Chain A
Amino acid sequence: MRTAIELAVFVGMAATIVCPPAHAGPVEDAAVANAIDGLAASSDETIEESIRKLSALDDPRAIPALDALCDDRLRIGADGHPYIWDSKTRDVRHPVSGAVVSPAPRPLKEVEVGNEIRRVALPVLARLQLGSPAAAVRLAAAEELSKSGSADAAALLHRAKAREKDGGVREALALAIARADLTGTDPAKRVAALEVIGRSGNDGFLSELQRLTAKNADGTPVEPDARVAAAATRAMESVKSHQRLVGFGGSLLHGLSLASVLLFVALGLAITFGLLGVINMAHGEMLMLGAYATYTVQTVLHGHRFYLLAAIPIAFLATGAIGAALERGVIRHLYGRPLETLLATWGISLGLIQTVRLMFGAQNVAVANPDWLAGGLEITHGLVLPWSRIAVVGFVILVAAGVWFILQKTRFGLQVRAVTQNRGMAACLGIRTKRVDALMFGLGSGIAGLGGVALSQLGNVGPELGQNYIIDAFMVVVVGGVGRLTGAVAAALGLGIINKLIEPAAGAVTGKIVVLVVIILFIQRRPQGLFALRGRVEA
């Protein structure tokens, strides 16, 4: 919020410097300069008087000075004139032109601003900003004015709304007007205001609405006008249902992105566990290694805009190679002994975690979102879909389609399916089964590595990253049915979304426990999973 305001102020400053208002004549120039000079006075009365003067002049060039005043950045120079202190560059700037004053007229004295002055200055500032050419500044101003909600602000806002062209700012202005109207006395206007509020679904009005619909101790409503009270009740219901919708949408989105990460892990597992019958406890570490590969690429490329695109093949190849080496070195000797495989791969995961810890440190490392993934898509008030999450969902769909294509449409996929169904027969037909095993393992690990790239865009990257997902991922594979990609997709979606939908109501832990219990009961009914297929493991 703070940065948003700063940005708005900066934009406002830049705009006022670049294009001074056309009507500004020399007389007004002097008046503005005089009034701004008055801000450096020592008495509160003079400052308030100057603010009123600026308000009457209605000149956007006063915005930086007023903003600095409210923000404790206004200083009085040795020459008695006001200056703006720029805390970032540590420069002293001229209050109107914004130019750096050098040498600074030291010693600088802070202008003492009490709440009384702020209360006078903030609406004036907001009003001036309403006239600013930058939409972001006008938006911030409309929100600020709507908070103060005085009746005389309403006329101002009406005027601003009439000449406003930007849709977002118009809506903010409409809300600001509604708030101002609500405090007025005209019942028709108040009802109309409540309707606007109800339509917007803005939760900033909840306390106001609660006050309007409340009842006194003797049971009579606080609000004497029945029509207004009824409208308030309607508006409150509408705001609350909007909030529920936003909450639901948010959970759904979080569930979807959890599901896509789970799917990355589960796709790999469905190959190694499902098709090869190997429990790979180090699979979660492939996720972690993929995330660290992303971090390394980011460091090597000095955070180039498109480092993420370069990280995708590198993470895939690196984790795939490690996975294939793992299969050749250790797992190959343990086929047919799943419990031992579980223990050996757990040991390997410990080694991988410790290696990463020694190389990169035990603390989380920072992987930045590139600028083309920053921000998000605003669906409705309060519900923003971050681009990074949308990208992750899209990426996993792409990868799942790719895996399906490899397994169903390529020669290698055909060999994989043949080996899965009957290893001996496949070998007799000339398929090099051992090579297929290693490649499959590499593929499964590589997909987990891609999951690591995706995960690095969603959260923290640390050595224990993989441990958080491996148990859930195994649940996905068990529920989905061993060896079925469709099962993995369905189960990942189901578990991810159920998890996040239960979470707001029951808390994260209870949600996990509920899901676990559901899984155990589910396995009672269908031990073979959602989509059963006979692979090399006799399930």
Chain B
Amino acid sequence: MSRLKEIHGPRAWVVVGVVGLSLALLPFFGLPAHLVPLFGKFLCFGIAALAMDLVWGYGGILSLGHGLFFALGGYGMGMYLMRSIEGEGVYRSALPDFMVFLDWKQLPWYWHGFEHFGFAVAMAVLVPGVLALVFGWFAFRSRIRGVYFSIVTQALTYAATLLFFQNAAGFGGNNGLTDFKRILGWPLHDPGTRAALYVASAIALVATYILCRYVVTSRLGRVLTAVRDAELKTRFCGYESTHYKLFVWTLSAMLCGLAGALYVPQVGIINPSEMQPANSIEMAIWVAVGGRGSLVGAVIGAWIVAGGKSWLTNTIPSAWLYVLGGLFVVVTLFLPRGLVGLIPKLRLALAAVLRRRAGPAV
């Protein structure tokens, strides 16, 4: 019970409950049906932003590989969705269409088991987790830090993108996995299914938020922040910084995989462009815009940037890259704490104005 209070004060718990509930119930109170998948997508981005903030905002590790974890989760779910329509593809084959097209005679070994929903979801979370664990163990052990770590993660992402682009890799190559029909027997284009997926994403977002909040308010979270701010000093105090970093890095990758798994059934496609290095960096800008080291800020940042992208690429497509590029520069130069960092400043300014107003009366 006291642990709950440490996570949030009573008032904040009420806010979390109310906001979470109203988010989840949005499709039933006025959100137009065609916007439900779009908003569901934003919720998934929110989860990814939380994962990103956990490693970057609290651990000081700027990952340029979270797009990879996100896409891996997405591929896990995509493989389930492909398997679930066995025999209903264009070629009426037990194999996914693209394999028939490539003239493959049987399913590659790594596609087995994905006909079970539970297995697929588990893989969507575990594969990014294991990859992050192995990669992180090597990287953190040899004290790869800061920008070096960022660059190596980016190279990893780049190599994986190239791999998935190949037809021979068995993930549909360039086109990726698409033409999904059903999830757990419900048709994907049905408004009810879409609403259900949206609600599931909202629940996952709130759960992820509470989990992240739990981590950062724990003793582990405080050591993590100490590692971020002064790794050597923390090590000299007897904390093995590698273990803390490895834990939060792996957890973050798994959360990102979860976000990807929820994302794919709502957008209906997963292809290698989803894991391009540029996407990972875009995740970093979500967190930077919202405010590093603030979980709520990360989610808000993701929504603002992703929402802006959806809107601008529809209205003035050529302007989007300028806006995104400008955001990178402006946020790093003028808003090191993000939008959330503006709140205390605004509060101070407001207080000063009020005091001046009240001044003459006293």
Chain A 310-343 per-residue mask, 1 if CB under 8 angstroms from chain B, else 0:
0000000000000000000010011001111111
B220: interface (CB < 8 Å): no
B120: interface (CB < 8 Å): no
- Contacting chain B: which of A70-78, A186-194, A436-444, A471-479? A471-479
- Chain B's nearest CB lies how many Å from the CB of A509? 4
Chain A 496-539 per-residue mask, 1 if CB under 8 angstroms from chain B, else 0:
00000000000011001100100111011001000000000001
A524-B333 in contact (CB<8A): no
B14 neighbours in A (Cβ, 8 Å):
none
B313: interface (CB < 8 Å): no
- Chain B's nearest CB lies how many Å from the CB of A288? 14
B277-A471 in contact (CB<8A): yes
Q: Which residue of B lies closest to A278 (CB)?
A: B147
A513-B163 in contact (CB<8A): yes
Instruction: Provide the bound-state CA to CA distance between A339 and B321, in Å.
Output: 21
B196: interface (CB < 8 Å): no
B322: interface (CB < 8 Å): yes
Instruction: Provide the bound-state CA to CA distance between A516 and B159, in Å.
Output: 8
Known contacts A350-B321, A478-B151, A520-B152, A342 near B62 by CB under 8 Å:
yes
A338-B141 in contact (CB<8A): no
A523-B62 in contact (CB<8A): no
Q: Which residue of A lies closest to B151 (CB)?
A: A474
Known contacts A343-B288, A509-B162, A516 near B328 by CB under 8 Å:
no
B325-A347 in contact (CB<8A): yes
Instruction: Provide the bound-state CA to CA distance between A403 and B144, in Å.
Output: 29
A509 neighbours in B (Cβ, 8 Å):
159, 162-163, 165-166
A339-B62 in contact (CB<8A): yes
A340 neighbours in B (Cβ, 8 Å):
332, 336
B333-A334 in contact (CB<8A): yes
B148-A343 in contact (CB<8A): no
Of the residues A344, A513, A527, contact of B142 by C-beta under 8 Å: A527
Known contacts A516-B155, A520-B152, A334 near B163 by CB under 8 Å:
no
Q: Which residue of A lies closest to B152 (CB)?
A: A520
Q: Which residue of B lies closest to A350 (CB)?
A: B325
- Chain A's nearest CB lies how many Å from the CB of B13? 33
Q: Which residue of B lies closest to A341 (CB)?
A: B332
- Contacting chain B: which of A118-126, A351-359, A446-454? A351-359
B146: interface (CB < 8 Å): yes
- Chain A's nearest CB lies how many Å from the CB of B273? 13
B62-A354 in contact (CB<8A): no
Q: Which residue of B lies closest to A513 (CB)?
A: B159
Instruction: Provide the bound-state CA to CA distance between A117 and B257, in Å.
Output: 68
B285: interface (CB < 8 Å): yes
- A418-460 contacts to B, CB under 8 A, are none
A390: interface (CB < 8 Å): no
Q: Which residue of B lies closest to A282 (CB)?
A: B325
A342 neighbours in B (Cβ, 8 Å):
62, 147, 150
Instruction: Provide the bound-state CA to CA distance between A348 and B281, in Å.
Output: 13
- B131-188 contacts to A, CB under 8 A, are 135, 138-139, 141-144, 146-148, 150-152, 154-156, 158-159, 162-163, 165-166
A347-B324 in contact (CB<8A): yes
B318-A358 in contact (CB<8A): yes
B329: interface (CB < 8 Å): yes
A231: interface (CB < 8 Å): no
Known contacts A279-B147, A474-B155, A516-B159, A333 near B321 by CB under 8 Å:
no
A350-B328 in contact (CB<8A): yes
Known contacts A330-B333, A342-B147, A354-B318, A512 near B325 by CB under 8 Å:
no
Instruction: Provide the bound-state CA to CA distance between A516 and B156, in Å.
Output: 7
Instruction: Provide the bound-state CA to CA distance between A475 and B151, in Å.
Output: 8
A471 neighbours in B (Cβ, 8 Å):
151, 154-155, 158, 277
Instruction: Provide the bound-state CA to CA distance between A414 and B334, in Å.
Output: 34
- Which of A346, A519, A520 has the most chain B CB within a 10 Å cutoff? A346
- B311-346 contacts to A, CB under 8 A, are 318, 321-322, 324-329, 331-333, 336
Of the residues B135, B158, B321, B332, contact of A344 by C-beta under 8 Å: B332
Q: Which residue of A lies closest to B61 (CB)?
A: A339
A524-B138 in contact (CB<8A): yes
B284: interface (CB < 8 Å): yes
Size range of the interface on A?
35 or more
A523 neighbours in B (Cβ, 8 Å):
142, 144, 152
Instruction: Provide the bound-state CA to CA distance between A278 and B235, in Å.
Output: 27
Q: Which residue of A lies closest to B281 (CB)?
A: A346
Q: Which residue of B lies closest to A329 (CB)?
A: B329
Instruction: Provide the bound-state CA to CA distance between A379 and B88, in Å.
Output: 57
Known contacts A343-B288, A520-B139, A351 near B321 by CB under 8 Å:
yes
B158 neighbours in A (Cβ, 8 Å):
471, 512
A475 neighbours in B (Cβ, 8 Å):
151, 155
Q: Which residue of B lies closest to A527 (CB)?
A: B142
A347-B143 in contact (CB<8A): no
Instruction: Provide the bound-state CA to CA distance between A471 and B318, in Å.
Output: 26
A337 neighbours in B (Cβ, 8 Å):
332
- Chain A's nearest CB lies how many Å from the CB of B139? 7
A527 neighbours in B (Cβ, 8 Å):
142-144
B166 neighbours in A (Cβ, 8 Å):
509
A333 neighbours in B (Cβ, 8 Å):
333
Of the residues B138, B147, B154, contact of A339 by C-beta under 8 Å: B147
Known contacts A354-B318, A478-B151, A520-B138, A344 near B159 by CB under 8 Å:
no
Q: Which residue of A lies closest to B284 (CB)?
A: A343
- Which of B135, B159, B165, B277 has the most chain A CB within a 10 Å cutoff? B159
B155-A350 in contact (CB<8A): no
B318 neighbours in A (Cβ, 8 Å):
354, 358
- A464-485 contacts to B, CB under 8 A, are 471, 474-475, 478
A348 neighbours in B (Cβ, 8 Å):
325, 328-329
Instruction: Provide the bound-state CA to CA distance between A503 and B327, in Å.
Output: 39
B162 neighbours in A (Cβ, 8 Å):
508-509, 512-513
A343-B163 in contact (CB<8A): no
A341 neighbours in B (Cβ, 8 Å):
332
A353 neighbours in B (Cβ, 8 Å):
321
A344-B138 in contact (CB<8A): no
Q: Which residue of A lies closest to B135 (CB)?
A: A520
Instruction: Provide the bound-state CA to CA distance between A158 and B154, in Å.
Output: 63
Known contacts A512-B159, A523-B144, A354 near B321 by CB under 8 Å:
yes
Instruction: Provide the bound-state CA to CA distance between A347 and B331, in Å.
Output: 10
Instruction: Provide the bound-state CA to CA distance between A350 and B329, in Å.
Output: 11
A334 neighbours in B (Cβ, 8 Å):
332-333
Instruction: Provide the bound-state CA to CA distance between A521 and B144, in Å.
Output: 12
Q: Which residue of A lies closest to B163 (CB)?
A: A509
Instruction: Provide the bound-state CA to CA distance between A519 and B329, in Å.
Output: 31
Of the residues A347, A478, A516, contact of B329 by C-beta under 8 Å: A347
Instruction: Provide the bound-state CA to CA distance between A244 and B284, in Å.
Output: 47
- Chain A's nearest CB lies how many Å from the CB of B290? 14
- B19-77 contacts to A, CB under 8 A, are 62
- Pairs across A and B, CB under 8 Å, 30 listed: A279-B151, A330-B329, A334-B332, A337-B332, A341-B332, A342-B147, A343-B328, A343-B331, A344-B329, A347-B285, A347-B324, A347-B325, A347-B327, A348-B329, A350-B321, A350-B325, A350-B328, A354-B322, A471-B154, A471-B155, A474-B154, A474-B155, A478-B148, A509-B159, A516-B155, A519-B152, A520-B139, A524-B142, A527-B142, A527-B144
Question: A residues within 8 Å of B by Cβ?
Answer: 279, 330, 333-334, 337-344, 346-351, 353-354, 358, 471, 474-475, 478, 508-509, 512-513, 516, 519-521, 523-524, 527, 539
Q: A339-B147, A344-B329, A475-B155 are in contact. List 7 more A-B contacts (CB 8 A).
A: A330-B329, A339-B62, A350-B321, A350-B328, A520-B139, A521-B138, A539-B148
Task: Report the 7 A-B pairs with minimum CB-CB distance, sorted nearest first.
Answer: A347-B328, A350-B325, A351-B325, A354-B321, A347-B325, A340-B332, A344-B332
